[in-house]
Amino acid sequence: MLRIDNAPFLFKNSTLKFPPKPNGFAHQYGLAILSVIDDDTIIITETNNDF
The per-residue pLDDT for 4 is 61
% the chain with pLDDT above 70: 12
What does the DSSP 8-state code read for residue 41?
E
What's the angle, vertex CA 21, arms to CA 8 and CA 49, rounded to 5?
A: 75
Beta carbons of 16 and 2 less than 8 angstroms apart:
no
Mean pLDDT of the region 11-17: 53
Torsion sign over Cα 44, 48, 49, 51: positive
Which comes out higher in pLDDT, residue 47 or 20?
47
Ordered by start, the domain boundaries in the chain are: 2-49
Residue 41: count of CB within 10 angstroms of its CB: 13
* pTM reported for the whole predicted model: 0.32
Cα dihedral value 22, 24, 29, 33, nearest 10:
-80
